[in-house]
Chain A
Amino acid sequence: MPRTRLNLDIPLEFLSILTQDGLVDEDLEPDVPGELLLKLYRFMVLGRRFDERMLQLQRQGRIGTFAPIKGQEAAQLGAVAALEPRDWMVPCFRETAAQLWRGTPMESILLYFGGYDEGGRIPDGQKDLPVAIPVASQLLHAVGLAWGAKYRGTDEVAMTFFGDGATSEGDFHEALNFAAVYQTPTVFVCQNNQWAISIPRSKQTRSRTLAQKALAYEMPGIQVDGNDVLAVYVAAREAVERARSGGGPTLIECVTYRMAMHTTADDPTRYRSEEEVLQWARKDPLVRFEKYLTDRGLLSPEKIQEVASDTDAAIQEAVRRYEELAKTLGDPLQMFDHHFEELPPNLREQKEELKRLLAAEREEASHA
């Protein structure tokens, strides 16, 4: 009886195209139209500045708790840039930049985090699922959507996002397994931002990479520099093309960093050093991409300034629309909407009850 080494062919690559200083590896530099590169840049700037504005709004009490994306713009945008509008995007809760790219208006995001259910409405025709908060649970929806696309013989792809912490959840493993078994056109994008609230990547798993978890499911996996938008884009484009042409799912691990807190309710100084944050600040995806685009002659100091001021104007206008819109919402009876196609008798009764209660409370308040 032999005891031999199993010869499993399990290749795993790491991909990085831009150096920390924004210098490009010309052998790996992808052929991407300047227009798309500039669009990516504009959305990276929007993602960054909108996130900063949201943080201010949260601190002023104008929106509620949310999960900042600072530092992860390249990981999200490089990935969704590889999708077509006919593809599906299944986010978790830290994909603001990806949502904006796909067409979600800023005011919807503000409404959602401002406590208005109406903000969860995805514009008609935009094939994104709403935010999913229970970690890793949404990956399976992307598998189901992709299965549907395959069943119907379309070439749609479903891309889903999650973090390093999600790779410890059962649903992550079930999703990868099902996607591989049924060879669904699913692209799994892990934003390994090093921290799951206070738990560092090193305590999340003994695995040396998260990408290697794909190999157990006989699925291609790749680790990329998640702060290098070109690397993320190239990996995502390959994965999307493979999925679209019947080659099945892929796991992409984007090595990035959560520059801010887990959510606005979190204080990261309790569990990580300022020094670590500063080290990652030197790998800022926006700075690197700006350098690259400037070297290619696509950006100039004037153009950078113009993008910044256009972005700020758009954000300011969105915040204004959000606060205007919020004034018109707020009807408490709206809470009974969108549970079933038809309102069942118990909900009809309870809606009437709330209506009466509110009227009585208004009446009492007017006499007080």
Chain B
Amino acid sequence: MPKMTMVQALNLALRQEMEKDDRVVVLGEDVGVDGGVFRVTEGLIDLFGPDRVLDTPLAESAIVGMSIGMAVYGLRPVCEIQFSGFTYLNFHQIECHASRLRHRSQGRFTVPMVLRTPYGGGVRALEHHSESREVFYAHMPGLKMVIPSGPRNARALLVSAIRDPDPVIFFEPKAVYRAFREEVPEEEETMPIGRSVIAREGRHVTVITYGAMVRPTLEAAERLSREEGLEAEVVDVLTLAPLDDSLITASARKTGRVVIIHEAPRSYGPGAEITARLVEKAFYFLEAPVRRVTGFDVIMPLFAREQAYLPNPARIARAVKETLEAAA
């Protein structure tokens, strides 16, 4: 199996789906000749031409609004918004239409589109280029919100997202884009949207996370195992909405202790929803308060301070250890 970065794996997913299905078209700013500012769409315009890989004018609302029309027409548009910090310019198209047209038309029309966009910090970028605002989309009824964590699941989930009959917001952790390689099979691979996975098995504590935070969480778990003999179970949420809580609930019932990690701000963040689900469904199994290691409720600092903002293996390990030491 070839080893790929997430960028290469996403590119593979797009290329193969475009080869297989002429309903799939790619559009966005700089996605054609330039191959996307992160090169996720590199080479697609050479393979499929400018009729299927559209270098659009600079207008996020139009990119998404036009994608909605294309999807209603029967195509499978995959649009790229260059950074998630610019999706506010198309926010109403998602909230008012992409998520609602199936319902408004009572099933007559559907919007099988994917909005791909990089999110998250850690790459020393400009303002608006580092935030994690996945809850804005996870909160909307009628929408699927997917965040892969590595090359292999990114590829498989993007294929599933393209084939999904409903609109999918696909947040790509830009810090992971080229951070490491994984074996990614050339042959077709999909993953079900709406399911979480166990990224690491363990029996002492459950650590729930997703996206770019999966790697530092796994690193913390390995360190705790090596140095303390503590075995953390790491759950990779993968689909934030609709959230299937069966796996996180089962894991919490098994370990009785939970820590949630995300780089999004803490208040009303994904951790709040996950905690509420655990309180509703696993409260009597909990032996310690649920702990959150998250971004702070501040404007994301510029990059000189971003490492102080982001959760890291040391902070995660400390929180996990304290949760394990907490008396029931």
Contacts and interface: CB of A to CB of B under 8 A. Distances in A.
Given A134-B92, A181-B57, A341-B165, A144 B67 contact: yes
A261 B88 CA distance: 33
Contacts of B51: 151
A352 interface: no
Nearest to B74: A148
A92 to B, nearest CB: 12
Interface in B133-150: 141-142, 144
A141 B102 contact: no
Given A140-B62, A148-B73, A178-B66, A339 B141 contact: yes
Nearest to B166: A340
Interface in B201-239: none
Contacts of A121: 105-108
B104 to A, nearest CB: 5
Contact of A144 (B72, B103, B107, B144): B72
Contact of A141 (B69, B165, B242, B245): B69
Given A178-B62, A345-B244, A141 B106 contact: no
Contacts of B261: none
A148 B70 contact: yes
B5 interface: no
Contacts of B97: 132, 134, 137-138, 141
B38 interface: no
Contacts of B74: 148
Interface in B41-84: 51, 54, 56-57, 59, 61-62, 64-75, 77
Interface string A176-192: 01100110000000000
Nearest to B277: A346
Interface string A122-147: 10100001111110011111111111
Contacts of A141: 65-66, 68-69, 72, 97
A286 to B, nearest CB: 31
B68 A174 contact: no
B96 A137 contact: yes
A226 B67 CA distance: 31
Contact of B106 (A118, A152, A171): A118
Interface of B: 25, 51, 54, 56-57, 59, 61-62, 64-75, 77, 92-93, 96-97, 101-110, 141-142, 144, 165-166, 194, 242-246
Interface of A: 117-118, 120-122, 124, 129-134, 137-149, 151-152, 158, 170-171, 174-175, 177-178, 181-182, 337-341, 344-347
